[in-house]
Amino acid sequence: MMSNEEMGIYIFCAIQTEEEDQFGSIEIEGEERETFTIRYKDAAMVAAEVPMKIYHPKKQNLLMHQGAVSRVMDQKDTVIPISFGNVFKSRDDVAALLENLYPQFETLFPAIKGKIELGLKVIGKKEWLEEMVKENPQVEKMASAVKGKSESAAYYDRIQLGGMAQKLFASLQNEVKQEIFAPLEETAVSAKANDPSSEKMLLNASFLIDRDQEELFDQKVNEAHEKWKDKVEFNYSGPWPAYNFVNIRLKVEEG
């Protein structure tokens, strides 16, 4: 392609490897780009040469990033995820970056070898949540007290109602944690309950599991879904690299 565009190096993830790996090409904003690796000791960055700019985190771009990382995960069992949209000026810069991050990678590799991350979001169905509110006599009573009153007249009632609704939600979240999260945690190497990203979300969990436990884990998720499917929606995703269990510090280590 003839162009005056300034090119940069986009990085997808880091891997532990002792060989020259090939991960094929990937389409980025309509252009086919060949991926390649930049190696240092037993580590490598998986990268592609792309126009130097800030890539917007739109659906297609995010899927492109995810797709590349998934393809790498099909071939390699030790993958360190790197966030979306990081483009560097040159291969030399990426090589220096890898060298500087290597002490962190060295510690991470054994911890994530053969592991995958799975995500589970549990979202309360509207009908069930409304039913729970009705079953809670205090909330129901307060809600009807608020109804029909002017905003200022019902001011304190509304505050109380808000507090009660919050308590009800906290107890539902707790129930889901005990009934769904806790049994799954037993099969995981590590598990995290993240902050819910919407108001109806009762659980936003990430699990780090051994690849060979994936089938068993799927089965357990399915069992939980059977039990809860009338009340909640399950959003089960993966396998991902250990996004929620790896935290690369963006600082050069002293000494």
Partner 1 sequence: MIHKLVSAPINLVIKVGEKIKEEADKELYDLPTIQQKLIQLQMMYELGEIPEEAFQEKEDELLTRYEIAKQMEMEQWEELTKKK
Using CB under 8 A as the binding rule, whether residue 97 contacts partner 1 is answered as yes
Using CB under 8 A as the binding rule, whether residue 2 contacts partner 1 is answered as no
151-210 residues in contact with partner 1 (CB under 8 A) are 197-198
Using CB under 8 A as the binding rule, whether residue 6 contacts partner 1 is answered as no
CB of residue 44 vs partner 1: minimum separation in angstroms? 16
Using CB under 8 A as the binding rule, whether residue 41 contacts partner 1 is answered as no
What's the one-letter identity of residue 239? P
Return the number of the residue (117 or 184) whose C-beta is nearest partner 1: 117
Please say whether the beta carbons of 92 and 47 come within 8 A: no
Cα–Cα dist 4/7, whole Å: 9
Burial state string for 62-80 with b = 16 or more CB within 10 A and e = fewer than 16: eebbeebbebbbeebebbb
Using CB under 8 A as the binding rule, whether residue 93 contacts partner 1 is answered as yes
Using CB under 8 A as the binding rule, whether residue 126 contacts partner 1 is answered as no
Judge residue 19's burial from the number of C-beta atoms within 10 Å of its C-beta, 0-12 exposed, 13-18 middle, 19 or more buried: exposed
CB of residue 92 vs partner 1: minimum separation in angstroms? 8
Return the number of the residue (160 or 196) whose C-beta is nearest partner 1: 196
Return the number of the residue (119 or 168) whose C-beta is nearest partner 1: 119
CB of residue 120 vs partner 1: minimum separation in angstroms? 17
Using CB under 8 A as the binding rule, whether residue 100 contacts partner 1 is answered as yes
CB of residue 57 vs partner 1: minimum separation in angstroms? 5
Using CB under 8 A as the binding rule, whether residue 107 contacts partner 1 is answered as no
Using CB under 8 A as the binding rule, whether residue 88 contacts partner 1 is answered as yes
Tracing tokens 């590799």 back to the chain, one arrives at 109
**Binding residue for partner 1, selected from 51, 85, 119, 196, defined by CB under 8 A:** 85
Return the number of the residue (84 or 234) whose C-beta is nearest partner 1: 84
φ/ψ region of 30 (left if φ > 0, alpha if ψ in -120 to 50, else beta) reads: left
Return the number of the residue (152 or 197) whose C-beta is nearest partner 1: 197
Q: Which region among 36-44, 82-90, 122-130, 217-225 touches partner 1 (by CB under 8 A)?
A: 82-90
**Binding residue for partner 1, selected from 3, 20, 54, 147, defined by CB under 8 A:** 54
Please report, as ranges, the residues that interact with partner 1 according to CB under 8 A: 54, 56-59, 62, 83-89, 93-94, 96-97, 100-101, 197-198, 250-252
